Amino acid sequence: MNKHFRFSGSMLQKLEEHGVSAAAVLRRAGLSPAMVADARILLKTEELFALWRAIGEVSANPAIGLLLGAETKTERFTATGLAALSSENFGEALGRMARYKQLTCPEEILQKKRRGEWIIQFRWLLADESEPAVLIDCAFAWVLSIARHGTGTRISPKCVELVEPQGHGAPLWLHGTYRRGAQRPGL
């Protein structure tokens, strides 16, 4: 297992597109401002979490994680996203994304089908603290973007359960049930 996460420099560009200063985020996270010029950034788990916490703190938009994870342009997809899009079905796409994560960073994507529901959970293996809500928002929005691109439809989750109450889920999860303060599903 690799002990670092690859954080794409294009995500810093995407921050700027949404009106968030990448330099201010890096400063707030205690990371080098020189990273703005890097195409690929390697971060330890605590650095990754600090970066995502800083994104949430610097941005004035409580839905910034959802905006950063949602992608409408296929040309912006990473290799992982493109591999997922070339899958036969959504289950295979999730499997490919999970395998990529397993090989390249200390993160797991867990999935389980139970009673007509498909439960997807992200787990950071070397985390000593809980993951930032903005990171969770981004991760789920990314999976939804893959599903929407792969099916060519505007599908919506039947239900989204988050551990912490958040008031910004409606724009992305429109037409689904949104449960605030729900407990994590056991996988």
CATH of the domain at 156: 3.90.1520
Residue 184 lies in a domain: no
Residue 172 lies in a domain: yes
CA quadruple 8, 174, 160, 20: dihedral sign: positive
pTM: 0.83
Each residue's pLDDT, cut to its tens digit, for the chain (187 residues) gives 789 998 988 899 999 999 999 999 999 999 998 888 887 889 999 999 999 999 999 999 999 999 999 988 888 888 888 889 899 988 899 999 999 989 999 999 998 888 888 888 899 999 999 999 999 999 989 999 998 988 888 888 877 766 555 554 444 443 333 343 443 333 4
Q: Which helix (H) or strand (E) holds 167?
A: none
Residues in the chain: 187
Residue 14 lies in a domain: yes
Task: Quote the Cα angle for 131-98-18, to 5°.
Answer: 50
Residue 187 lies in a domain: no
Q: How far is the C-alpha of 19 from the C-alpha of 17, rounded, in Å?
A: 5
Structural domain of 111:
5-179
Residue 44 lies in a domain: yes
Residue 55 lies in a domain: yes
Residue 155 phi, psi dihedral angles, 5° rounding: -70, 155
Residue 186 lies in a domain: no
Residue 185 lies in a domain: no
